[in-house]
């Protein structure tokens, strides 16, 4: 097979099948994205659609700045722009550096795609095979075993993988034939990483016994994708009946009553829509067991990057919380005040308090006499009456004038607090963290 013709013909057919929208290549500088960008640049149909490149500098390797410069130079030689964006990779999220870098990369992709633009990635058949095998080893169902989708919405545009049917070697042969310069990322040689171990050690061994390994796995992935898409019609409709729009929580018992074929992808979709990773099979089974928790129990299932609470027969998901230090006091005079756990306290509308207040957090024994109430109440009874979720109670800001508790966030205000906020012309607004 002529590699040049195969790559160019594949892209030409893809452009004809999807003729709308400007084009942007996710250009890492590696051989796969280099072949994709160069081949597209040779096609008038792609040029006519405003072809450009987008490079993400993850700032994780000492040579990352020179890699970005290489991508700009190569793109300029092709007569097109290369937009370089710098990622801030969260190294302490607990999901691993590779996954954190991917999250940062796709967040930038989503933020910088133009309206209706298609972001083309150089993922090929071998990438798909590796993805499916990794999902299989993690116990995935049809959605995971369907591998990477060829297209999906992203930001204002679409993510597009037009080369999933082509083997890696076709792209590498193209790079060699055209004598194209490309970057070698040494992290791709680190066999401690699961994907690299699979690529360099496991798949070559499989292919010695089953030469059609890649084609067979890719075919199975296509069948699983078709099955998953059929199931999706059912669980997407069910999701809207289980999810509360106000709290974005799920009916735990309704979810548990679903067949596993609907239950598992529905949960993963609900979590991913919040920017949270899906649980492993063992963690998902723990969620299912805890759905039967009795009143008064407060199950919480945690995994890297997420925690899920079961409370009042509903599922609540969020990023892992940062609980405030009980000795940390914050001075507040009405300006937007960042709180631990990504929360915020501010005045609405914006104003300045006539006297400074202190923001503190619950210790024990706090009591408040809400305006218009005949009795002084302890915080525990106030929280229970208001059905404030338990995980928010520890982070609920308490407002003090000196040593006197005058308000509990924006939920309960004493007469003194009412007077202070009346003078300011604003009301407190507490935005709990995710």
Strand order in the sheet with 314-318: 250-251, 314-318, 306-311, 300-303
- Cis check for the bond before 85: say yes or no (omega within 30 of 0): no
CB 342 within 8 A of CB 434: yes
- Is 281 found in the same domain as 191? no
Helices and strands per DSSP (H, E), number in the chain: 17, 20
Q: pLDDT tier at 3 (50, 70, 90 boundaries)?
A: low
- Is 252 found in the same domain as 192? no
CATH of the domain at 79: 3.40.50.620
- Does any domain span residue 142? yes
Domain boundary at 284, 318, 352, which? 318
How far apart (Å, rounded) are the C-alpha atoms in residues 219 and 174?
24
Query: Is the model's pLDDT at 66 over the cut of 80?
Result: yes
pLDDT tens digit string along 201-257? 999 999 999 999 999 999 999 999 999 999 999 999 999 999 999 889 999 999 999
Domain boundary at 318, 352, 367, which? 318
Task: Please count the structural domains in the chain.
Answer: 3
- What is the residue-averaged pLDDT of the chain? 91
- Does any domain span residue 66? yes
How far apart (Å, rounded) are the C-alpha atoms in residues 285 and 194?
24
Q: In the structure encoding, which two tokens stand for residue 90, read together? A: 């969260």
Query: Is the model's pLDDT at 386 over the cut of 90?
Result: no
Taking the alpha carbons of 104, 108, 110, 111 in that order, is the dihedral positive or negative? positive
Instruction: For the beta carbon of residue 223, count every other beta carbon within 10 angstroms.
Output: 12
How far apart (Å, rounded) are the C-alpha atoms in residues 347 and 335?
7
Q: pLDDT tier at 277 (50, 70, 90 boundaries)?
A: confident
Across 132-154, average pLDDT: 91
- Is 56 found in the same domain as 22? yes
Backbone phi, then psi, for 10, in 5-degree steps? -60, -45
Instruction: For the beta carbon of residue 212, count every other beta carbon within 10 angstroms.
Output: 10
Of the chain, the percentage scoring pLDDT greater than 90 comes to 73
- Is 355 found in the same domain as 209? no
Domain boundary at 217, 234, 258, which? 217
Least Cα distance to 162 among 149, 173, 153, 175 occurs for 149
Query: Is the model's pLDDT at 294 over the cut of 80?
Result: no
Query: Is the model's pLDDT at 266 over the cut of 90?
Result: yes
Region for residue 354 given its phi and psi (left: phi exceeds 0; alpha: psi -120 to 50; beta: otherwise): alpha
- Does any domain span residue 236? no
Across 319-343, average pLDDT: 81
- Is 401 found in the same domain as 300? no
What pLDDT score does 5 carry?
A: 66
For residue 288, CA distances in Å to 142, 248, 285, 291, 400 come to 19, 19, 5, 5, 42
Q: pLDDT tier at 325 (50, 70, 90 boundaries)?
A: low
- Does any domain span residue 133? yes
Pick from 158-167, 363-372, 383-392, 425-434: least confident: 383-392
Burial bucket for residue 92 (CB in 10 Å: 0-12, 13-18, 19+): exposed
Whole-structure pTM value: 0.70
- Is 250 found in the same domain as 356? no
- Does any domain span residue 79? yes
- Does any domain span residue 238? no
- Does any domain span residue 23? yes
- Is 388 found in the same domain as 295? no
Domain that holds residue 108: 3-217
CATH of the domain at 256: 1.20.59
What pLDDT score does 47 carry?
A: 96
- Is 394 found in the same domain as 280? no
- Does any domain span residue 325? no
Q: pLDDT tier at 326 (50, 70, 90 boundaries)?
A: low
- Is 340 found in the same domain as 312? no
- Is 154 found in the same domain as 63? yes
Query: Is the model's pLDDT at 434 over the cut of 60?
Result: no
* Helices within 243-316 (DSSP H only): 252-256, 260-272, 281-290
- Is 173 found in the same domain as 77? yes
Q: pLDDT tier at 4 (50, 70, 90 boundaries)?
A: low
DSSP reduced 3-state for 75: helix
Pick from 87-101, 184-198, 268-282: least confident: 87-101
Pick from 49-58, 235-244, 357-366, 397-406: least confident: 357-366
Q: How many CA atoms lie within 13 Å of 191's alpha carbon, on the beta-carbon side?
A: 7
pLDDT tens digit string along 401-433? 999 999 999 999 999 999 999 999 999 999 987
What pLDDT score does 328 carry?
A: 77
- Is 189 found in the same domain as 260? no
DSSP reduced 3-state for 379: helix
CB 361 within 8 A of CB 397: yes
How far apart (Å, rounded) are the C-alpha atoms in residues 401 and 224?
61
């Amino acid at each position: 097979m002529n590699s040049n013709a195969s790559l160019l013909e594949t892209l030409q057919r893809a452009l004809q099948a999807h003729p709308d929208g400007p084009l942007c290549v996710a250009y890492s500088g590696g051989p796969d994205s280099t072949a994709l960008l160069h081949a597209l640049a040779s096609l008038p149909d792609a040029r006519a659609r405003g072809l450009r490149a987008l490079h993400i500098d993850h700032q994780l390797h000492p040579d990352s700045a020179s890699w970005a410069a290489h991508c700009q130079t190569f793109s300029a030689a092709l007569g097109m722009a290369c937009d370089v964006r710098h990622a801030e990779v969260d190294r302490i999220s607990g999901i691993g550096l590779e996954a954190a870098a991917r999250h940062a990369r796709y967040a930038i992709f989503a933020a910088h795609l133009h309206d209706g633009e298609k972001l083309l990635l150089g993922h090929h058949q071998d990438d798909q095979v590796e993805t499916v095998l990794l999902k299989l080893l993690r116990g995935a169902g049809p959605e995971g075993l369907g591998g990477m989708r060829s297209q999906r919405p992203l930001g204002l545009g679409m993510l597009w993988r037009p080369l999933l049917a082509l083997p890696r070697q076709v792209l590498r042969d193209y790079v060699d034939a055209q004598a194209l310069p490309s970057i070698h990322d040494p992290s791709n040689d680190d066999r401690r990483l699961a994907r690299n171990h699979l690529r360099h050690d496991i798949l070559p061994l499989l292919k010695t016994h089953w030469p059609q390994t890649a084609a067979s796995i890719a075919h199975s992935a296509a069948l699983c994708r078709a099955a998953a898409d059929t199931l999706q019609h059912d669980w997407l409709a069910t999701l809207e009946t289980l999810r509360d729009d106000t709290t974005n929580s799920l009916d735990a018992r309704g979810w548990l009553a679903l067949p596993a074929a609907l239950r598992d992808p529905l949960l993963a979709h609900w979590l991913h829509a919040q920017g949270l990773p899906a649980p492993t099979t063992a963690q998902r089974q723990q969620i299912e067991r805890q759905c039967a928790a009795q009143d008064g129990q407060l199950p919480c299932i945690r995994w890297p990057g997420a925690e899920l609470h079961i409370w009042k027969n509903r599922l609540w998901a969020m990023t892992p919380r940062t609980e405030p230090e009980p000795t940390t006091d914050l001075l507040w005079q009405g300006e937007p005040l960042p709180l631990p756990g990504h929360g915020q306290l501010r005045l609405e509308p914006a104003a300045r308090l006539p006297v400074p207040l202190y923001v503190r957090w619950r210790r024990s024994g706090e009591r408040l006499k809400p305006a218009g109430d005949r009795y002084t109440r302890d915080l525990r009874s106030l929280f229970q009456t208001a059905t404030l979720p338990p995980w928010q109670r520890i982070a609920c800001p308490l407002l003090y004038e000196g040593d006197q508790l005058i308000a509990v966030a924006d939920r309960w205000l004493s007469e003194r607090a009412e007077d202070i906020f009346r003078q300011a012309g604003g009301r407190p607004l507490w935005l709990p963290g995710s």
